[in-house]
Amino acid sequence: MVTAKQQKAVLVTEIGKPVELGTRDIPTPGEGQVLVKVTATMILPHDTYGRDWGLLVEDRLPAVLGNNVAGVIDEVGPGVGFKVGERIFGISGNVAASSDQAGLQEYAILNADAIAHIPEGFSDAAVASLPINLVTSAAVLFTKTGFDMPAPYLPRKDFDCATASVVIVGGGTNVGQLAVQLASLAGVGKIIVIAGTSNSAKLQAMGATHFIDRHSSSAEMVKQIHAITGPENATQVYSCAPLDVDLVIGLLPKDKPSTLKTLLPFEGDEEEQLGASLPLCKFAFVHDLTNASLAPNAAQFWAKVPEYLRTEKLLPADFQVVHGLDDVSGINNALDQYRDFSRAGAQTVVLI
């Protein structure tokens, strides 16, 4: 039974087991926070890792998943410029000590510097497809965590993006598409995308300057990319798909600093291979980026996102829908699809 001060929530109660429907207290916003009546949240691969491996949640069971949140502000804490009743979307704190900041529940806390107004004409479900993929790609491209290029919302004069290049592997993924769009917004001169040919026209319309067929051999992809950048200038790789170690080792220079960021965990001896072959490469599995990764400029970032949406410089991802927290079977099925690598294209938004 749900009491007046409690809410429905979908919970991880045991690592490696299906999520379950339960209840938990409705939280209260603190300074710089808002309480949101959640209307939509998106399930993402790291939510599967949380359910199955305990990623980011094992120390706070029972835990709520879901970091992309859209909804209506129900209450505001001190020092907040947003107002009750406004439609907003944003990213929750996926490394927070409690599940108060998570989407698979009726009410969630969000930090005011991690949200934006939903532009007119956009559904809550559509904007819920954006936050964590958007923040992840922005952090990889524009902060010292990643490539440290000048952000379009915070231009710098010490770096000419027009002379820069980036290789985005898995550009057809939702996070890859957002990386292409953000790199284009920043004016990156060579945005080289590896993806399936069915995504070629779409990615080039989003801003990709060069397209490489992912079905090509690693050696052929290296040859094509080096023809674009020169052998010594392909130094930044953002892998949004399963890592191709042979591609990376062939692509990045051996005697020059380079950076590799991958969104999937390293397997087997991949880290040892990379370390031995590319001693000057800074490589990392990116799994813990939060809004704080954009500090101290997170608020500036979110203030610009509605404009990018209105002007179609950023496009929401494709998604499919699960209706309601009561459909726990549908939520577990969506998580299973990430586990089994059986998902093609659309991710899952849960409407609440």
Q: Taking residues 78-82, what's their average pLDDT?
A: 96
Inter-residue contact 26 to 5 (CB < 8 Å): yes
Distance of CA 241 to the CA centre of its chain: 13
Write the pLDDT tens digit of every residue in 184-221: 999 999 999 999 999 999 999 999 999 999 999 999 99
Work out the mean pLDDT of the chain and round it to a whole number. 93
How many whole angstroms separate alpha carbon 236 and alpha carbon 6?
Answer: 47
Q: What are phi and psi of 262, to 5 degrees?
A: -125, 140
Model confidence at 225: pLDDT above 80: yes
Residue type, 127: V
pLDDT number for residue 95: 65
In the chain, what are the domain boundaries?
A: 6-130+316-351, 134-285
Quote the crossing angle between the two packed helices 298-310 and 131-142, to the nearest 10°. Answer: 120
The SS3 of residue 217 is: coil
- Range 6-130+316-351: architecture per CATH: Alpha-Beta Complex (3.90)
Name 62's Cβ contacts closer than 8 Å, sequence gap at least 6.
11, 12, 13, 22, 24, 99
Name 8's Cβ contacts closer than 8 Å, sequence gap at least 6.
2, 21, 22, 23, 105, 106, 325, 326
Q: Taking residues 24-52, what's their average pLDDT?
A: 95
Q: Taking residues 73-79, what's their average pLDDT?
A: 97
Q: Taking residues 143-157, what's their average pLDDT?
A: 88
pLDDT number for residue 343: 55
CATH 3.40.1350.10 fits 134-285, yes or no: no
List residues bridging with 323 in a β-sheet.
351
Which of 81-85, 190-194, 335-339, 343-347 is least confident?
343-347
β-pairing verdict for 236-239 and 319-323: unpaired
pLDDT number for residue 115: 97
Inter-residue contact 30 to 69 (CB < 8 Å): no
Please tell me the pTM assigned to this model. Answer: 0.91
Structural tokens at position 336 = 């299973």
Sign of the four-CA dihedral 288, 289, 290, 295: positive
More confident residue, 254 or 98: 254
Model confidence at 344: pLDDT above 70: no
